[in-house]
């Protein structure tokens, strides 16, 4: 995809997120909307995957360690044809293939089950080691939450990833600076976040997480980096693209979405300039 197509793709992802969570009436909408641009860039340009063969050997992997953002992945995968878009209306209902948190055993295109914060990144490190051992050329991407980054397991995994020189691993921090109970600065500040990751042996890039061109350049830089994993810190807005979610800030971590809000949000996204 070129940049206009990626921006249009991000719009559709946001519409699908709102539709998906709106069909249930509530969910983790803020942290889903904040990674829509990243998902559009990854799946629109970089991820080597096949909707017709989701388990294809040698494919690139994406681990959404912040597993509560599962609906953002579902919104993306449905748009690409991994499963019918009609499934989005079944989010977290009985018999669904789309639980609220990612489950690799239920959803085509999901590479790792997640939910307990901190664990997904460890899994991504293990997958990257496996790809190195196989020599299949697969790249592994992991999306971390900023609140999640207060978990000690994140830093244990980071230390080992650098030790193993996993240059096939690229991680992203969704740095929207809000978590369940407040701002990250108020609860347990992550700063200086760039220096922390650098001191753990990562190549570090910091970007505007809603600038698709900057994200694309950062991913290309990560792919060209040899001998160490990369952390791309994305400065993002929680609830990006939907004004009532952006205004809620911390409140959009998990919130109710009425039928009226659902309709208004979709109209707002559709009407926004790319």
Please check whether residue 256 is in contact with residue 26, taking contact to mean a CB–CB distance below 8 angstroms. Answer: yes
Four-CA torsion 99, 268, 148, 104, nearest 10 degrees = 30
CATH of the domain at 80: 3.40.50.970
Structural domains of the chain, count:
1
Question: What tokens does 157 get?
Answer: 């995994």
Mean pLDDT per 10-residue segment, the chain (274 residues): 97 96 86 98 98 96 94 97 95 88 93 91 98 97 97 98 99 94 93 98 99 99 99 98 90 83 94 76
Tell me which residue range forms the domain holding 131. Answer: 3-271
Which pLDDT belongs to residue 41? 99
Which pLDDT belongs to residue 274? 62
Question: What tokens does 75 get?
Answer: 């919104």
Which pLDDT belongs to residue 180? 81
Q: What end-to-end distance do the CA atoms of the chain give, in Å?
A: 15
Can you point out the beta strands (E) in the chain? 26-27, 61-64, 140-145, 169-175, 178-179, 182-183, 203-208, 230-235, 255-256
Which pLDDT belongs to residue 250? 84
């Amino acid at each position: 995809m070129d940049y206009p197509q990626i921006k249009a793709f991000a719009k559709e992802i946001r519409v699908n997120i709102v539709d998906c969570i709106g069909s249930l009436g509530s969910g983790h909408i803020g942290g889903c909307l904040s990674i829509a641009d990243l998902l559009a860039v990854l799946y629109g340009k970089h991820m080597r995957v096949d909707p017709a063969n989701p388990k294809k050997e040698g494919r690139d992997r994406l681990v959404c360690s912040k597993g509560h953002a599962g609906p953002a992945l579902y919104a993306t995968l449905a748009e690409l044809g991994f499963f019918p878009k009609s499934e989005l209306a079944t989010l977290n209902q009985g018999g669904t293939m789309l639980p609220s948190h990612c489950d690799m055993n239920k959803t085509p295109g999901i590479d790792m089950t997640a939910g307990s914060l901190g664990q997904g990144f460890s899994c991504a490190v293990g997958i990257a080691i496996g790809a190195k051992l196989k020599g299949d050329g697969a790249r592994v991407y992991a999306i971390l939450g900023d609140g999640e980054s207060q978990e000690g397991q994140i830093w244990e995994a980071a230390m080992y990833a650098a030790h193993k020189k996993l240059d096939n691993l690229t991680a992203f921090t969704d740095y929207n600076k809000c978590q369940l109970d407040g701002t990250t600065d108020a609860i347990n500040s992550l700063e200086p976040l760039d220096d922390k990751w650098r001191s753990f042996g990562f190549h570090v890039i910091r970007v505007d997480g809603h600038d698709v061109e900057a994200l694309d350049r950062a991913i290309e830089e990560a792919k060209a980096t040899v001998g160490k994993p990369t952390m791309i810190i994305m400065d993002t807005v929680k609830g990006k693209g939907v004004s009532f979610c952006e205004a809620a800030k911390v409140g959009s971590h998990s919130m109710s979405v009425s039928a009226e809000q659902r309709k208004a949000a979709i109209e707002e996204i559709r009407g926004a300039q790319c």
